[in-house]
Every structure is written in C-alpha cells, then in structure tokens.
Chain A
Amino acid sequence: MSDLHRPTGAAEVNLIITGRAGQGLQVISRTLGRMLVRAGYHVFVSQDVMSRIRGGHNFARVRVSNVPVAADGDKAQVLVALDPALVARHVPDLAEDAVVVAEAAADLPEGLNPILIPLADLAREHGEDPVMANAAAVGATLALVGLDLDGTEEMFESQFASKGKDVVKRNVAAAEAGFRAVAVDQKRCCQHRLPSLGTVPERGLSPERLLISGAEALALGAIAAGVRVVTAYPMSPATPIVEYCFRHAQEAGLIVEQTEDEVSAANLAIGAAFAGARSMVCTAGGGFCLMNEALSLAGMTETPLVLCVGMRPGPATGLATRTEQADLLFSIYAGHGEFPRAVLTPADAGQAFLAAQDAFRIADKYQTPAIILFDQFMADALWTVERNVLKVDNRQEPALSEPRQEERFFDSPGSLRMTDGAASRTGRQERQVPEGLEPYSYRRYEMSESGVSPMLLPGAPQQLVYADSDEHTEEGHITESAAMRLLMVDKRNAKLAGIRQELGAPKVEVEVEVEAKTLVFCFGSSRGVVSEALVRLRARGHSVAMVHLDHVWPFPAGAVAGLVAKDKKVVTVEQNFSGQLAQLLSQECGVRAAGTVRRYDGRQFTVAEVEAGLEELVGAKVG
C-alpha cells in the first residue's frame, strides 16, 4: 500500500479552523474529520496550539482528499473563524477563491470572500450555550463542502455520550442551524464541493477507515500489547497517551498512575515490570532527562520497560506545545553505562499502533528498555488509517498449550522453558515455575549466548528472584569480580544483535525507484511530508527515493550501507538544527550526507518547503 504516488484524478479541499483556546476547535476538527472519513474521504488534521489554557490563537488544518494524505495541504479553500479577529493572520494561508466563514458582525480584511453567519446567536438560540458556536460552524462547513447533515446526530452522540442526551441534542440543533444559515439563508451550498470519490480506484484498500490521533494509536497499540501499568507525570506531548489510557483503564484492566514526578513514574514502572506487569512510562524530552537513571537501571537489572518519549522543541522548556526531532541522539545515548535498547520512530498513527506492540515484544523478549520516540506533530495529528493496518500482533505470546520451540532464543543447561518474557501479555498464572527446577535454585542472570536469561517473577513458589543494580553474579548478588563483570557486560550487550535482527531493515519506500540517484533519509513524522515532496520532484524528472527509518536503534547499519552502495547521493530531512540523522548515518555506516533539509522553529515542515529544499540539494552535483 503506497501513498507515494498520486494518481490522476486526485483532488482535495483544505480547511483551516481558527479560534482561541477554549473555543472547542478540536471538537470541530475531529467531528468534521470523522464525518468526512465516513463519507469515504481521506482526511488529515493537524493542530497548531499555543501553550495556554484560554485565549491566544489556535488552529487546525483539515485536509480532505480522495486519495491518502499524510501531511498538511498547501493553501486553504475554506477558513472557519470562531474569532473573526484572527482572520487577518490567515490571509497568507488562503487560496485565491477561498471563502471565510465568520461571525456576522465581523469586520474582515478587504478582498476576502466572506460568508457571515451569526454563529454565536445561533449557538445561543439553538444550543442554549454560546460555546456551541463550534457545532454551528461544523454545520456551516458541511454545507460549504457539499455534504448533508446525515449522521451528524450519531457523530455527536459518539463524541459526547458521557455528557448526556441533552448536550448531544443541543449540539445537533446548533449544527443544523449553521447548516441552514449557509445552505438556505445564503444559498452558498457547495461553494467548495469535495472532489468526486469515483475517479480514483480503491487500490485494494479496505473501505473501513478510522480517524485517529498518533497518541491515541500509540495508547491503543500498548493496550493491544497487553500493557498493565502506565505511569506518567503530565507533560505535553505525551499527555494524550495517558489520558486515553485513563479513560480505558477499567475495561482494559490497566493501572494508570500519575506520580509525584517523572523519577517516580519511571521507577514505579520498573517495579511493576519486575513483578510481571507489562509497563509503560509516558513523557517528553524534559521528563525523559529525569528518567535517565531509571533507564540505566532497567538496562542493568534487565527489566522490560517501554518508554514513550515525545519530542518538543528544547532545550529546557523550549516551545512546550510544538514539534521538533532534536532528541534523536539523546534517546539513543541516554542513561549512564552501556546497555542495549531499542528506539522506534513511528511515522504516523498506523505505525504508532504497531510500534507500541513491537516495543513491548522487544522489551519483554530481550528484557531491556524500548523507547518509542515520537514528536508532537505525530501525536496530535489525526490520521486516516485503514482498519486492516491496525493489526494485533500475535507474537506477543506463545500458544498456551505448548512451548514455542522454534522461538527459543536461549538454550540453558537447566533447560528452563520460559521462552516468553516474564511480563508477556499472557497472564501470570500461565507462567509457572518450570518442571525440573530445584527449589531455590533459580538464577535470574544465567549466562546464555543470546544474552537473554529465563525470567521468573517474584512470587513463584519456592524460588527467589533478584534484580540488582550493582554488578552481580548469575544469581543476582553483588559482586566486584572482574571476571564476572566482563561476562555480565558481554551478556547484556549481546542482546543488541537479537534486537537488530528482530527489527529488520528499513525499506526504500518507492518500489519503482529502486535505481533512484538520490536517497532521501528521514525518520518519524517526516514521512508523509517527504513522500509527497518526492512525488512532486519525480514529476519534474528528479530521480529520488525515500528511506524512512521507523527505528533508529539498533541502527540498521548493514541494510543502510547496502542501500547506498552504488554511487548514490544521500540527503536527510529532519526537524532539528544539527542534522542528527545525518550524524548517525556517518557514524554508524560511514555514509556522508550531501546535505540536510532542516526546520527547527517548532512548526512541522510543509511539503512545499521540503520540495524546495530537496530540489536545491538534489540538483547539486554528487560531492
């Protein structure tokens, strides 16, 4: 499934919904987005939010297309302004024929194409609450793009079920009033009719689509991996992951703990993982700094731990609600001492759902930390995902009846058959003490070729489990033996080879362009933007292909070296100042990037600027 070629017939409409914090922008963009997805469209919604609780200037971009979209569009055809004073700021973002939906009383800049609607009055009259201007705006927008009100009630029901029938009813009434104000009163229906769906072939995709944020997909992926303990100290952009887990704690059987600080969050998760619960801690770069010692402890004690680390612009508090990719190297090197880890860098909601499961599988199988490194843009954006992409990974657990001989990755003299990690998705009662193990003879850090030792849980009858932060013997007792130190360092770090194999090689994401002269490397949320920029460049005759890294550690050095072997030019696209991915390419496989397209103002790359930046680099001679 490739969204890397735009077929003929592809068309789109772009909307911007702008307002102050507290005006319900997220409700509008999600409601609209879901209705459009249900109508058969591909939708991409991104959020631009200030770090404040009320007021300011927030907006959402909603891109609607008849083909898959994974980046913001260019100019908008529709601007919906909940606060007309903000219209002027968006004039540069608007296409020439754009319409502006705004409050009837608004005094708008010259030269616009306004549709003035008494949004606040409609909200008061029909929704009995001025905040329902957002619902009225939803109705008005539906009319503008040529959709009807079918399904509005169901949509509000699913959004506001917990707030009661009355709230749903008033929202629906306000939406209907907004719809009528455009379609009937102003006869402006279908001003920017959506593209026809029939012109683009389905390309084998399931018509069942979801609109889900990266954060929600990450949380749900963790639930699909059988997470049992989620800990956090609130910090943007990781908070929505925790909120989702909180909301689903009861039905999914989760413990969600908001701790007194990040240090506690990470260490609590380690304690829980030691006791056998799949555990995850959620934070942002600053909080991750505080967790570094715990990360190191997880490495030393060989405790499975998943960390969701959201990148926002630093150093220090930086731009708290905005996006960056500057913690790439930090995530790889964080924590004192040397120990193995995985760092996964999912591009979008679909990849995030799978990455969460990969992280738990790897953390558990290799008894070491796994980091899911994402950025604010990925977490807060709403992505259209085919339902069948969101697969639940069955490798999380062995068949309950038989040991997985083929997946044994250690072969210990004691012949313990504990092939799954102790904190596997399977319930603890399925992981009994293996037959033949003498009472009180278990050795937590038993040597093995793979570096992975059989993992029992504390509470196993007549066995003792030791987790030791000091250098330790195979049993887990303190030692200062030089010989044991060497064995244990080698044992721990041997696990990296297994993780590398498990994660596999990154793919060149353009099948027909394997012979491309230039390879564009990126990671995380840049994928959608870069792939679309490359479509445009290829259309102009450039020979370019993208290599998106959905994991950066262990670095897939062999695979990357193989890809760039043949006289290819390499460039990177990354949202940081120093070109961290380019540094990694050079360090890990001796590949020198000819250049880097960078952005570090806290805003996501646009397709146009990546296109322009790459054209400059691609056009240059191979140096």
Chain B
Amino acid sequence: MGSLPDLKPWSSPAEVTWCPGCGNFGILNALKQALVTARLEPWQVVVVGGIGQAGKVAQYVGANFLHGLHGRAIPHALGVKLANPELKVIALGGDGDMYGEGGNHLLHAFRRNPDIVCLVHNNGVYGLTKGQAAPTSSLGFATKHREAGTHVPPFNPLAAGLAMGGSFIARGFAGDVKHLSRLIGDALEHKGFGFIDILQPCVTYNHVNTPDWYRKRVYDLELESHDPSDADAARARALEWPAEGDSVEIPIGVFYRSRRAAYVTCGRPGQPVTNLRFDIGVVKKALEDFR
C-alpha cells in the first residue's frame, strides 16, 4: 500500500458548511483521492452539483463547477460533456436530487449512457430542508413531519439502473473511504455512465441508518466473488437491499459493468463542437434549397 495521495491541488477556498461528522466528508475525501489517482488536473474536470448538502461538494472539490438546480445535475453534466467531450464530468447530488426531483433524468441517463460519472449521496433523509423523508427512506421511517413514519416503500436505484440498461452500477459507503475512492476511480475510467449510489450516514436527521448500523450490514461484493459482467447476478444482489427485517445485508462494490458503447451524438465525431469554426458556406448552400 502506497502513501496517501497529495490532495493539495484539490482544495477550495470555499467554507465547508456541513454538520460535524457528516457522511459527506468521507465522500469528498474519496472523490479527491480518486481524482488524484486518475492523474487529472483540476482544470480538466467539471463537477456539476445539484442543490442540497450533497450538491455543495461541487464547490469544495477545487475543480471547475456548475452548481445548478435541484434535480438537474444530470442534464447540466450531459450538456457540458456533449459540448466538450475532452472534459471529465462528474454529476453529483443527494437522493432527493437524483431519485426525487431528477428521477426522470436519471432513468434516461442509464439508457443514454453518456460518458459521465454520477455520484448519489444517499442518506435516506432530506437534510437541508430539515428532516423530511427521502425516496430512499426505509418503510416506517419516522420524521418530525410524519411521526407515524413513511408508508411508501423505498426506491431501489440499483435495480432501476439495471432495468434501464445502465452500463456501470455500483454502491459505495461513505464510511469506507478507501473502497469508495477505488469505486469512483473505476467509474472515472469507465467509458459510459458511471453510477454510484453512496450510503451516507446523516448524523443530524437519520438516527436509523447510523454509521454503525451500516457497518454491521455492508459487505464487499468483490470478496464474494461476484461477477460484475453477470446481469442476472447483479439483479439478484441489487434486490437484497432495500429490504425489510433486521438480518438484511447490504452489498457494496461494482454490481454490474458492461462494455456498452458510450453515448455519442451527431455533429463531427472526435471533434468537440466548441472547436468548430464557423463556415458561412453552409448557410449559403442551405439557402439555395429555398429557391
């Protein structure tokens, strides 16, 4: 094992405003380590953040960022990537961002398979709006707003991603930075939509899924000799959790990886459209069609 990577180039003057002990610190740390390992320079990377505590990561990484709207990180990231494929683009947000407000974009991103990394900070609760249930809150999760607990079963992002033909489906845990950093590195290398659902404890609002709660349940797929090219096996693993009961176990790691071609669009292949020169001849020729 080598020494810890030097994270200094990846620093931001922005004041970090998370609660002490927030799971986001682990994710930020893992992301920076992965970026260093990938030998990327901050100016080569665009981090697109949604809105919420997770989206703020965009401001803290020390790369270019587009800190946009709640739920819209994926369309923003897709736009950046289409316009200039030379940029490394990372879209990140919380469970409300990606599974609630922006759920439709996520489904279609799995289908479209653009070459971007998508990190979802899944803490099973809404933090910035002060503790409401999230799409991933477990059944019966009690909030101040609904003391009786949520009665809608949680969204299963990995199963949905597999059903939509996603090409890289993974789950990480904010409490295991080394593992998560390696996962993010794999997603950065993957040519296609590198999706990682990240289990993120929320120390303020989620008193069910605490760091210890997760630690007792997560297990690494790699140690179970899971074959990520096996879609059936991936589906079976994806359905293990969310699930009811005290004995559940939560797989982390790469569930599924395929070599499906990444999305390219029309335009001139290999050439970012932002590099094209204007050609007045195109207009002149097109006008002839109307004579």
Is B31 on the interface with A (CB-CB < 8 A)? Answer: no
Residue from B74, B79, B290 within 8 A of A275 (CB atoms): B79
Is A272 on the interface with B (CB-CB < 8 A)? Answer: yes
Q: Is the CB of A477 within 8 A of B13?
A: yes
Is B152 on the interface with A (CB-CB < 8 A)? Answer: no
CB distance from A168 to the nearest CB of B (A): 15
Q: Please, how many angstroms separate the alpha-carbon atoms of A226 and B82 in the complex?
A: 16
Interface residues of A in 242-286 (CB under 8 A from B): 248-257, 259-261, 263-265, 267-277, 279
CB distance from A204 to the nearest CB of B (A): 20
With CB as the reference atom, state the residue of chain B lying closest to A465.
B64
Is B48 on the interface with A (CB-CB < 8 A)? Answer: yes
Q: How many A-B residue pairs have CB under 8 A?
A: 218
Q: Please, how many angstroms separate the alpha-carbon atoms of A370 and B92 in the complex?
A: 29
CB within 8 Å for A458 and B80 given contacts A274-B66, A466-B67 = yes
Interface residues of A in 200-230 (CB under 8 A from B): 208-212, 216, 220, 223-224, 226, 228-229
Interface residues of B in 238-281 (CB under 8 A from A): 265-268, 272-280
Is B289 on the interface with A (CB-CB < 8 A)? Answer: yes
Is A301 on the interface with B (CB-CB < 8 A)? Answer: yes
CB within 8 Å for A390 and B67 given contacts A252-B282, A253-B267, A259-B75 = no
Q: Is the CB of A459 within 8 A of B59?
A: no
Hey, what's the 0/1 contact readout for B211-233 against A, CB within 8 Å counting as 1?
A: 00000000000000000000000
Q: Is the CB of B277 within 8 A of A268?
A: no
Contacts of A228 in B (CB 8 A): 83, 267, 273-274, 276
Is B78 on the interface with A (CB-CB < 8 A)? Answer: yes
Is B43 on the interface with A (CB-CB < 8 A)? Answer: yes
Q: Is the CB of A464 within 8 A of B42?
A: yes
Q: Size band of the B side of the interface?
A: 35 or more
Q: Please, how many angstroms separate the alpha-carbon atoms of A270 and B14 in the complex?
A: 24
Is A315 on the interface with B (CB-CB < 8 A)? Answer: no
Q: Is the CB of B277 within 8 A of A274?
A: no
With CB as the reference atom, state the residue of chain A lying closest to B273.
A228
Q: Please, how many angstroms separate the alpha-carbon atoms of A160 and B46 in the complex?
A: 45
With CB as the reference atom, state the residue of chain B lying closest to A470.
B67
Contacts of B203 in A (CB 8 A): none
Contacts of B43 in A (CB 8 A): 458-464
Residue from B65, B75, B268 within 8 A of A253 (CB atoms): B268
A contacts with B, residue count (CB < 8 A): 78
Contacts of B282 in A (CB 8 A): 223, 248, 251-253
Contacts of B41 in A (CB 8 A): 462
Q: Please, how many angstroms separate the alpha-carbon atoms of A272 and B80 in the complex?
A: 5
Is A88 on the interface with B (CB-CB < 8 A)? Answer: no
Q: Is the CB of B46 within 8 A of A458?
A: yes
Is A457 on the interface with B (CB-CB < 8 A)? Answer: yes
Is B1 on the interface with A (CB-CB < 8 A)? Answer: no
Contacts of A352 in B (CB 8 A): none
Is A387 on the interface with B (CB-CB < 8 A)? Answer: yes
Q: Is the CB of B105 within 8 A of A264?
A: yes
CB within 8 Å for A254 and B273 given contacts A158-B289, A228-B83, A462-B43 = yes
Is A497 on the interface with B (CB-CB < 8 A)? Answer: no
Q: Is the CB of A467 within 8 A of B280?
A: no
Question: What are 11 A-to-B residue pairs whose CB atoms are below 8 Å?
Answer: A228-B273, A248-B286, A255-B82, A260-B108, A264-B104, A267-B75, A271-B75, A279-B83, A458-B80, A467-B65, A469-B51
Enumerate chain B interface residues (CB-CB to A < 8 A): 12-14, 41-44, 46, 48, 51, 56, 59, 62-69, 72, 74-84, 86-87, 104-105, 107-108, 265-268, 272-280, 282-283, 285-287, 289-291
Enumerate chain A interface residues (CB-CB to B < 8 A): 34, 37-38, 158, 208-212, 216, 220, 223-224, 226, 228-229, 231, 248-257, 259-261, 263-265, 267-277, 279, 293-294, 297, 301, 387, 390, 392, 396-397, 423, 425-429, 457-470, 475-478
Q: A224-B283, A264-B78, A293-B72 are in contact. List 11 more A-B contacts (CB 8 A).
A: A210-B290, A210-B291, A255-B267, A267-B68, A277-B84, A294-B69, A458-B64, A459-B43, A462-B41, A470-B67, A477-B14
Which 5 A-B pairs give the minimum distances between C-beta atoms? Answer: A271-B79, A267-B75, A277-B83, A458-B64, A272-B79
